Each structure stands twice: as C-alpha cells, then as structure tokens.
Structure 1
Amino acid sequence: MSELDLSVIILTYNEELHIKRCLDNICPIAKAVYVIDSFSTDKTIEIAQNYDKVKVLQNKWENNYAKQFNWGIEHAQIDTTWVLRLDADEYFLPELLEECAVKLPLLDENITGVVMKRRHIFLDKWMKRGTYPVKMLRLWRNGASQCEQRLMDEHMQLFYGEQVEFEYDFCDHNLNNLTWFVIKHANYAVREAADLLDIEYNLYGSSVSDDEKIMNHQAKQKRSKKHAYAKQPLFWRSFAYFIYRYFFKLGFLEGKEGFLWHFLQGWWYRTLCDAKVYEIKKACGDDPKKIREYLKTKYGITIEKK
C-alpha cells in the first residue's frame, strides 16, 4: 500500500496493550506518526520508538484532552498535507486504508476535512445496533482544524472549507477488562456532569458557540440532542436513553455483550453522571460561581471561560 502525504497524531498514556496494533495498522500509509505521550510508566514509549516513522513527544497531562491534542498539533512540526487523529486503541479496517490510499490524493482543494464512521467493538463483538454508526471528522488538511475546547465530547472543528464522508469504518476496540472500563467511565462521569452543568448554567461558555464551528452533520445533531438531554429531569433521562438505545435502536439484538454495553455505557454511566450533577447542585445550589469553584477545588476541573 502506498504511503500518503499524511501525519498521524496519537495521544498515549500507558498504552502498551494497544500501541503496537495501532502503529502496525497506520504506519504503512502515513509519512509520519507523532505519539504525544503523558509520561507513560509502561512500555508505550519503548514500543513506539521501534518504528522509524514515529516521533515521541512528551507533555504533562492536565486533565484536558483538547488541550493535550492541540499541544500536539502545535509542537509536532507537521509538514504533510493531511493530518489524522487516532487513539491508541483504534485502527482502520483494510477497506478504509485502501479507500484513503485511493481517494485522499484526488480530493479537491476546497475539501479540507474527511468524516469517517467509527464502530465500537466491545468484549470483542461489534456493536452494530444502538449507537452505530458514529460519524466523526478525523482527517483534515494541515492547518484547517483543531480540537474544540470542551470538557467532554470534543470534536475536531474546521476553520474553513468543506467535508466529505468516506464509506468504510475505523474501529474503537479496547482490549482492557471490564474493571478498567468501569473505572474509566467513573472518572469520566464528573467531567460529563460538568459539561451538562455548563450547558445549563453557561459555566465556561464552551457550549454556546457551536453555530460558529464547522462540524459534520452528525456531530451537530449529537450536540443538539445533548442540549435537549440536559433539559430533561435527572435520572429519568438516563433511563430513557437506555430504553431508546436498547429497545428502539435494537441494541437487545447484540446478545449478552450488547446488554452489557448498553447497560454500562448507556444507563449506569449516565446515571452516575446525573448523581454527580445532583451532588454538585446539592452543595452549590444554582449559583454558577459556586459550581465552578466546587468543580475546581473538589475535582480539579477548570476551563478558560470564553
């Protein structure tokens, strides 16, 4: 497969379980790969440095994905036409690799972003129903995009130009066990709660400027649904979301793995987020200033107000 005029940015922290699979998958089509590492203590860096195309940069993690990713864009000294965002536990299907090789060099200059479909593989099974496909802008012309500054649900936003959608998928396939999965989402819950409170109280101003961003249709639709979700009653909304995914979107057809995926990620996690919202409101009332201070002192969450 031919090498493309493409650089890849991958954020890592203790990803020795995934990084080789990821690099083996993407290096054949990439000119350069930049691993932005948050001072891993496992073999992540050692593995990454075995690849000639890979350059490892390290930067302290400040509990902010967008800030870390945009630091990578700024410091990687990218000189290729195209840039790709990829997580360490993700990889392209062979069909998508081929599609990139064929289509990317032929795109018109006005096309500055490429939207791709992500499929979740949970407990080694593709979750075809309930949430698929998730369409995300992951590939853009150098200088045309950055990661939007949000607490959660960060999308790549284009500054100019138009987008096209590729046909084939990339996979989100994490190999860690369920204990890791639950802990990860427990850690995400307070950030998701803060994001929901931001929508309700405009704590940081990160949820009110979406009309100014060039995002793909599904990303805008998802953001609109999240704003509507934030207005619904606590706890009821997480239950309703699970019912929608599991029954109306036919998640129940994915067997035991499907039940665990939609229950844990669609109900338990969302209920935990609501519990955090309840906790914060109980402590702070409806005072945005108190909520911001509570999030900062209790959870170390802060973001520059726009």
Structure 2
Amino acid sequence: MNAEYSFIILTFNEEIHLPRLLESIAGLDAAIYILDSFSTDSTLQIAEGAGATVLQYAFENHPKQWDFALKNFEIKTPWIICLDADQVVTPELQIQLANFKNDDYKEVNGIYFSRKNFFKGCWIKHGGYYPFYLLKMIRFGVGYSDLNENMDHRFIVPGNTIIWKKGHILEENLKENSIRFWIDKHNKYSDLLAIEETERILGLRSQTIKPRFWGSPDERTAWLKQLWWGLPRYVRPMLYFNYRIWFKLGILDGRTGIIFHFLQAFWFRLVVDIKIDEIIKQRKNADRH
C-alpha cells in the first residue's frame, strides 16, 4: 500500500463519474476515502467495490464537506490528494504521483495541479480557464478547508507550495451535458454566493487568504475577488463576460465555449447580483419590523 499519500473523494450520485476517476488512479495503490452526500444511485456500491473507506455527511456546501472529510477520516499517510468525482488523473500526472516521495518535499506543504475543464465535450482552453491551477495535494494535518468561502472551495496551507505544470486533472461533469442540470445546479450555487457576498458587504465575512496579485494561484484569486467586490453590481457581469471573450480570447473556444462563458461569466453572475439585492431588501424589511 502507498505510504506517501491517500485520496479523498467527494460524491453525490456519481455512478457515471466515479468508475472513470477510480480507473485513473488504480495503479497508484493508494488508500481511497470517499465522503458521500447520501447518494441514491450505485455510487456506494462502486466505492465499496473499489475497497474505499466510506463515510456519509449531509451536504451544505463544499467547504464544510471538505472540512468534515479532513477531520473525520483516519488518514495514515503524510499527504492527501483531494478530488471531486468528476475529475480524472491523466497518465502524465499519474507518473508524477507514482514517483512521489515525501522525503523529496520536506519543505513543501501543498502542490497545485493543472486543470483542464470541459463543457459539453469541449475543452475550455481560453477565457482565463487554462492554465488553471488547483491546490489538490496537501500535507495532512497542515492543510485545511477555507470555511470563509460559501461556494468556492479551496484548501489553505501555511508554508511553501509548488505548482506541477506537467500532467493534468481533467474535469468534465457529464451531467452538465443537460443544460437543465447545469442551470439548476448553478441556481443553487447562486444562492450560496449571494449569501456570501451579502455577508461580506455587511462585514460579517472576511477572506482567509491574503490577496496578492503576484502570489500563489489562490492569493491571486483572492486579489481578483477583492477587485470584483468593488465593481458595481449589474455592470460587472457584462464587464466580466467581455473580459473573458475578448481580452482572454474566449471567442476562440467556438460556439460551445462561448455558450459556457456566457452562462458562467454573465448569466450566473447576473443572477447572483439580483439575489444580493433581494437579500438586502429582505434584511431591511425585517429590521423595520
């Protein structure tokens, strides 16, 4: 059994995704821990068939789900790799992981993987979506889930991090081939994000990560988020969409890619802005009574 790292995977009705992910990491002989949100399909049978250790926890948001996973699994390795069920490890990344030794990374607490994101079978190569680095491999007991985020989930590690630019994780949610699924999913996400942004406006929520434009990928994201929060609502979705389409060359992603950028950069962000105003109005009305 691999003594260097273990995998933690989040699942909810992932029977079409989980076999694909498990196959991509099967040769690494690492322990697999799965936190499931009470799936009703064959996800649990697939997990148990792969020899995974399974716990179940009711889903509220991704940061809390990861927090529970990190605190409740009995991990026996110095490192953990945290993946979503709709992700796949490429052969190139698998080779890097096969050669990984903790002794070679004594001064490192986190490793960023390069992600390729797909929508309806199309690799979203432009619009700021590639290269895109996610902190997926963290030293166990050192890294933790950022609970100051309500929708976006990220891990925080003190100390040094590095980026692996060779090899990728491929992310493609096949359920999103149905636009109804994508819209329903992001409508729920917009609730979480609207609540989060409203709490930031009211000073009830702060950033954990220090914003730095020239810092780590997550520090740069934190800096960009601060910029986003300072932009006027209703204007910023159009600015963001045009930024991705023209400045970040999202137009080169073709029809499917442009649809993705429109939905993700404009439609979703506009819905969030509308919901922020609704929440603020509800709070004001409640205060009057």
Q: Which blocks of at least 5 consecutive residues in structure 2 are unaligned?
A: none
In 1, the alpha carbon distance for the partners of 2:274 and 2:137 equals 36
The 3 A distance-change label for structure 1 pair 4 and 128 is farther
Question: In the alignment, residue 280 of structure 1 is paired with which amino acid?
Answer: I
Residue 92 of structure 1 corresponds to 89
How is 1:18-97 mapped onto 2 (pairs within 5 angstroms)? 18-52=17-51, 54-61=52-59, 63-97=60-94
Aligned to 2:197: 196
TM-score (norm 2): 0.91
Show CA shifts across 1:123-179 (max 9, x none): 111111012222111101221111110212221001x33111112221111101221
Shift of 1:60: 2.3
Distance 1:59 1:275 in 2: 31
**Quick one: which amino acid aligns to residue 88 of structure 1?**
A
1:208 to partner: Cα distance: 3.8
Confirm or deny: 8 A CA contact 2:10 2:84 kept in the other structure. Answer: yes
The structure 1 segments of at least 4 consecutive aligned residues displaced by more than 6 Å after TM superposition are: none
Taking structure 1 as reference, are residues 26 and 4 closer, same or farther at Cα in structure 2, changes over 3 Å only? farther
Note if contact 2:111-2:163 (Cα within 8 Å) is conserved in structure 1: yes
Match of residue 181 from structure 1: 182
Q: Indicate which of 140, 149, 164 corresponds to 2:162.
A: 164
Q: Contact conserved, 1:6 with 1:30, CA < 8 A, in 2?
A: no
Q: In the TM superposition, what is the alpha-carbon distance from 1:45 to its structure 2 partner?
A: 0.3
Name the CA distance, whole Å, in 1 between partners of 2:246 and 2:3.
Answer: 42
Query: What is the deviation of 1:183?
Result: 0.8
Number of aligned residue pairs: 280
* 1:120 equivalent among 113, 117, 120: 117
1:16 aligned partner: 15
Distance 2:154 2:56 in 1: 23
1:209 and 1:268 map into 2 onto residues whose CA distance is 28
Indicate conservation of the 8 Å contact 2:143/2:155, yes or no: yes
Question: 1-side partners of 2:207 and 2:160: how far apart?
Answer: 22
Whether the 8 Å CA contact 2:116–2:171 is kept in 1: the answer is yes
RMSD: 2.1
Range that drifts further, 88-97 or 23-32: 23-32
Q: Deviations over 1:97-135 (max 9, x none)?
A: 112222445523111110111111111111110122221
Distance 2:132 2:255 in 1: 22
TM-score relative to the length of structure 1: 0.86
CA apart distance, 1:6: 1.5
Distance change (3 Å), C-alpha of 1:78 and 1:123: same
Gaps in structure 1 of 5+ consecutive residues:
291-306
